[in-house]
Structure 1
Amino acid sequence: MAEVQSPVGSVDRALLILQEIGKHSRGVTLDELATRLGLPKSSLHRLLGALKHRGFAAQPDQGGAYFLGTEMLATAFRFYETMDLRTLVRPLLLRLSEEFAETVHMAMLDGAEVVYLDKVEAVRTITMTSVVGGRNAAHCTGVGKALLAWTHTTDDAVHAWGDRFGPLVAKTRNTIIDPAKLATHLDQIRQRGYALDLEENEPGVRCVAAPVFMGRTTPVAAVSVTALKDRMSPAKMEEIGHGLRRSIAEQV
């Protein structure tokens, strides 16, 4: 399929320049940018001048390498500080609920618990403890384990978290309460790319969850698809897991 052309070529080229500069932590020269982007150095130099004027690009040494400017970083940080996660992720939740015809949650990590920021009920709703603004234990929920897996990425970090917030409480007979077993389990989640709740928080209820990063190294939230166990076979959970990862990558 042919690539869709940008409606404003100069803006598109400026964005490509910023993307390319962002790949080089040690800076990138005008010649390197021209080669990588296939742009004439004369027009490239003019665009870089405009980006430098607005602070989105920087060139500490005359004729030297280019870096991302402080205004680029400041704009990104201002956005993250003021963004409304619920507004940004709501379209994803609606899409997932329609695709899988099940209840969808979004939650964030707060110490030993998850806080539910949003919830889209399926037509065939089920009774659950989750409510918007409510909390559940992180170690036994799909969203919680997805958040823990990418927030505490080493065994030592998981043990430290367990020491701080333990002892972990068993909500069902399937709940993992041993920090060592939880650390191993979280490593498996990272390898798989999504978390499973196999009736660990509520009997008869299963869910699949994946992290939402929004450009950060640790997740800002997690999204889950939840259903009764009769509708959550291993094959169905795998299908949802891959669908979650794909949809998150495409939409947020």
Structure 2
Amino acid sequence: MGNGQSPVGSVDRALVILQEIGRHGRGVTLDELATRLDIPKSSLHRLLGALKHRGFAAQHEANGPYFVGTELLATAFRFYESMDLRTLIHPLLLRLCEKFRETAHMAVLDGGEVVYLDKVEVPRSITMTSVVGGRNAAHCTGVGKALLAWTYPTDEAIKAWAAQYGPLAAPSRNTITNPAKLAAHMAQVRERGYALDLEENEPGVRCVAVPVFMGRSTPLASVSVTALKDRMPPARFEELGEALCRMVAEHAGTVRPAT
């Protein structure tokens, strides 16, 4: 989300009102909104009237609580139905590639595998198994771990996933194939906010990956930065992970759900 003062104060207040209404599934009263947002009731009432006029807010009875309007929901659903993830996230991959001078990927989860939807390479790029439209096992790739950790957010859920799609393949000696160890590893991923592939899919290749939520409670995709191990020593993991989290949040405008 943007920082600093909004260029149009009234629009910003209307958006803040919608954000607050969206936090209350049972509705929120005018008095509660005025208190929570520190907006004078007269101004608040006018803004709510404009939002109601466009169907972005709703009040089902006189002096009753306010709810998110059906037009706001319809707009969001229309967007998700027509959303082209590659178009939305490709500019982010370009930024990642330019900033870190390494290959950037975007992938989605499909059962026990990840499918690569986009990839941006630097001229010195290394040869990897990842190709656009290609697949790899989810449990041994950075993009896959970033998706698994939040799509299956408990130890039990990860173990159930592993039981459904196992036995888990071991493309390298570093691959985690034990469901219990994988569940514990996913808990670590959620705690630090990013996933690592430490030569678990390809010898000599490491990557850092983070989920992309796009406003949902589970990720729609994940993105990663991948490099030869010589260019990605352990000292670089935290720097890359934190930078990736920040850049994804700036690009997608989302905040990762609490764990």
Percent identity of paired positions between Structure 1 and Structure 2: 74
- 1:60 shift after superposition: 1.9
Aligned to 1:107: 107
Tell me the SS of whatever aligns to 2:222. Answer: strand
Work out whether residues 168 and 177 of structure 1, in 8 Å CA contact, stay in contact via their aligned partners in 2.
yes
TM-score, structure 2 normalization: 0.92
RMSD between superposed Cα atoms in Å: 1.4
Does residue 231 (structure 1) correspond to residue 256 (structure 2)? The answer is no
**Which AA in structure 2 matches 1:81?**
E
CA-to-partner distance for each residue in 1:44-94, whole Å, 9 max, x for gaps? 222212211222111122101111112211211211121111111111111
Taking the aligned partners of 2:165 and 2:154, their CA distance within structure 1 comes to 17
Aligned to 2:4: 3
TM-score, structure 1 normalization: 0.95
What are the equivalent positions in structure 2 for 1:53-92 lying under 5 Å apart? Answer: 53-92=53-92
Q: Which runs of 5+ in 2 are unaligned?
A: 253-259
Taking the aligned partners of 2:36 and 2:183, their CA distance within structure 1 comes to 42
Taking the aligned partners of 1:84 and 1:46, their CA distance within structure 2 comes to 36
**Larger CA deviation: 148-157 vs 212-221:** 148-157
Taking the aligned partners of 2:72 and 2:96, their CA distance within structure 1 comes to 32
Does residue 119 (structure 1) correspond to residue 119 (structure 2)? The answer is yes
Work out whether residues 138 and 144 of structure 1, in 8 Å CA contact, stay in contact via their aligned partners in 2.
yes
What are the equivalent positions in structure 2 for 1:60-209 lying under 5 Å apart? Answer: 60-209=60-209
Taking the aligned partners of 1:73 and 1:134, their CA distance within structure 2 comes to 34
Aligned to 1:26: 26
Tell me the SS of whatever aligns to 1:196. Answer: strand
Work out whether residues 6 and 12 of structure 2, in 8 Å CA contact, stay in contact via their aligned partners in 1.
no
Tell me the SS of whatever aligns to 1:44. Answer: helix
Taking the aligned partners of 2:34 and 2:158, their CA distance within structure 1 comes to 46
Taking the aligned partners of 2:124 and 2:215, their CA distance within structure 1 comes to 34
Query: Structure 1 residues 40 and 69 mapped into 2: Cα distance closer, same or farther (>3 Å)?
Result: same
Aligned to 2:39: 39
**Larger CA deviation: 33-42 vs 74-83:** 33-42
- 1:222 shift after superposition: 0.5
Taking the aligned partners of 1:22 and 1:6, their CA distance within structure 2 comes to 23
Taking the aligned partners of 1:157 and 1:10, their CA distance within structure 2 comes to 44
Taking the aligned partners of 1:153 and 1:29, their CA distance within structure 2 comes to 34
**Larger CA deviation: 108-117 vs 12-21:** 12-21
Work out whether residues 104 and 223 of structure 1, in 8 Å CA contact, stay in contact via their aligned partners in 2.
yes
